[in-house]
Amino acid sequence: MALQSAIEWTEATWNPVTGCTKVSLGCRHCYAERLARRLQAMGNPNYANGFEVTLHEHMLSLPLKWRQPRIVFVNSMSDLFHEAVPADFIRRMFDVMRRAGHHTFQVLTKRSERLADLAPRLDWPGNVWMGVTVEHADYVGRIGDLRATGARVKFLSLEPLLGPMPALDLAGIDWVIVGGESGPHARPMDAAWARDLREQCRPTGVPFFFKQWGGTNKKKAGRELDGRTWDEMPEVAPAGRLF
């Protein structure tokens, strides 16, 4: 069974690892932590440890059972490159992604230093997209670590966007996602920050995806920026699939 996702830029989620720890400003009001606590209270066995980093061997082969091609967000409830996740487990996940070549896998991390350290020892199949979260200008160094990987598609998640990012270096970047923070303690996003990033993407040809304004009621706030939605995505995929 595929785990369908409400995240606007993906179709399904795959969580062989759950749980995480806070590493930077964007983690302060982590949606995954809130959800994990809720699932623990509901008795979901994969969240018996709450938000502690936990490996789930039984989840490893799940994408191989999905016949219909789909876009899969890897570890939406964790960070694959968390220091508590053994390198061998990460390699096994990459092997599954390679074998499930009919899917497109999106991996996202805030721990770019460990990503850069492990990247030369990983097999990078063309259906694995690698991204880093850069929620504030203080973390633009993560982009350089991303560039050093062998990923065919490299993307940035600028969410929750917590400040302006003027003159962002988009060299070697294939996709930019921008979004505001959502939830009960959401920090505001200035519309000028989002517009500036969109305008930085235009001359470089980098697809721009505006995910949400966020806030305490993200559905009410909506997804339109200047009167339209921005759902651009890279036009590459396994088996000739285009978006």
At 51-109, the pLDDT tens digits run 999 999 999 999 999 999 999 999 999 999 999 999 999 999 999 999 999 999 999 99
Domain count of the fold of the chain: 1
CA atoms of 107 and 71, how far apart (whole Å): 11
Nearest to 217 by CA among 192, 190, 184: 184
DSSP state of 138: G
CA atoms of 162 and 159, how far apart (whole Å): 8
Render pLDDT for 203-223 as a digit per residue (tens, 0 to 9).
999 999 999 999 999 999 999
Give the CA radius of gyration of the chain: 17
Question: Which 3 state secondary structure label does DSSP give 228?
Answer: strand
Q: What pLDDT sits at residue 6? A: 87
Torsion sign (Cα): 111, 121, 147, 231:
negative
- Helix, strand, coil shares of the chain, percent, nearest 5, are 30, 20, 50
Nearest to 93 by CA among 17, 19, 36: 17
CA atoms of 24 and 217, how far apart (whole Å): 24
Q: Are residues 17 and 90 in contact, defined by beta-carbon separation less than 8 angstroms?
A: no
Q: Is the pLDDT of residue 124 over 60?
A: yes
- State the residue for tokens 């036009």: 235
CA atoms of 13 and 11, how far apart (whole Å): 7
Instruction: Tell me the residue ranges of DSSP E strands in 30-170.
Output: 54-55, 71-74, 104-109, 128-133, 153-158
105 forms beta bridges with: 72, 128
Q: Are residues 176 and 204 in contact, defined by beta-carbon separation less than 8 angstroms?
A: no
CA atoms of 107 and 12, how far apart (whole Å): 12
Q: Which domain holds residue 51?
A: 3-21+28-240
Render pLDDT for 172-207 as a digit per residue (tens, 0 to 9).
999 999 999 999 999 999 999 999 999 999 999 999
